[in-house]
Amino acid sequence: MTSLRDQIYEYFFLKEANSDIYFSEYVYIPKGARGVFGGQVISQALAAATLTANTRFIVHSLHSYFILNGRPDDPIYYHVERIRDGKSFCTRNVLAKQRGNTIFSLSCSFKVAEPSHMEHQFDPPSIHSPEESFKFYENHRTQAVTGETRALKFRDKVQVGKLSMDICQAIPKCERLRRSFDLIKSETISKRGESSSAYLESEIALPYNAWWYKLDHELHGLYPQVHMCLFAYISDHRLLSVCNLPHYFGNNIGKNRLTMIASLDHAIWFHAPLRVDRWLLYSLESPRVKDFRGLAYGKVFDENGVLVANVVQEGILRAKQTDPSAAPTEALHFQTFPPEIQPDKASNFQASKL
């Protein structure tokens, strides 16, 4: 098994420039983006911080801010500051710089694992498995759209540095959620058109989505720290898009034109070990959009339903009404519910065992 340092150098393209300073000449800017992909700088900054911590420590949280757009033609330098080294916790700050200008900042905390007799979690949403989701899309692979037959795009491949990731939209078991998911599908739009008059007033896409993610490589020999850094990379994918769903689909289709979307910050809380080469359910929701700022939450569950991480991001979502003379739309309100104990466990007041 290679060392943790060697694995980080290999998967995150980092090199040592000086004591606690690392750099990467790999800069990924997605097509149409204004700057470097946020997931890259998050993961590389976390990887740089990990290199300065004892291997007994595992990251449990990070908080970061995107400050400037990263340039494609300059290396990114990661300056790590050792804030604290304790018996149970250690803390690091990282500044990512290009040409001496800070483009990104990150604070992260590491902890030594210890046994605990207290545990609870929210259950995962009622979602079909990846295999069932694939089968559903395969069974509906072709359908008539304006007299023609077209293939449904049910999964994507996304580059994650030297690796690639399988993505599949999850299929909810709840019929109400299923109808909302249908509103954002390209085949629905092709069939019903891009005019709001083709949709009922009640047909508003919910600010909720869910995806299955998995790196399509076997990564048995990787340290847990590397899996967490790789997750930091993929956690930025599709997260902010959930904020737009109610405003661009269904009865609101064609009413708004997106002029700018960019991440402002990013936070992750790791609750349990995870593996990015196993299916992870990314359950996304947006509780608030206001002042052209959108807030997105992501709950991450492994294949066994264990809540392994929570992700939060705020982003800028500037838009214009396509009809300048149209009256401003009223604020949309969505109902939410408090947590409830599982019915089969309510009699003895115990949450379901993990």
Q: What is the residue-averaged pLDDT of the chain?
A: 89
Nearest to 294 by CA among 346, 235, 342, 243: 243
Cα radius of gyration rounded to whole Å, the chain: 22
**pLDDT band for position 96 (50/70/90)?**
very high
Residues 120, 58: contact at Cβ < 8 Å?
A: no
In 3D, which of 295, 275, 293, 277 has the Cα closest to residue 285?
295
Distance in angstroms (rounded) separating the CA atoms of residues 269 and 288? 20
pLDDT digits (tens, 9 = 90+) for 217-246: 899 999 999 999 999 999 999 999 999 999
Buried/exposed 279-294: b ≥16 CB within 10 Å, e otherwise? bbbbbbbbeebeeeeb
The pTM for the full model equals 0.90
Q: Strand pairing of 148-151 and 142-145?
A: antiparallel
CA 175 – CA 238 distance, rounded (Å): 23
**What pLDDT digit, counting tens, does each position of 252-301 carry?**
999 999 999 999 999 999 999 999 999 999 999 999 999 999 999 999 99
pLDDT for 29: 84
Active-site positions read 236, 263, 313
Q: What tokens does 33 get?
A: 């983006």
For the chain, list the domains and their CATH numbers.
Answer: 1-114 (3.10.129.10), 124-324+331-349 (3.10.129.10)
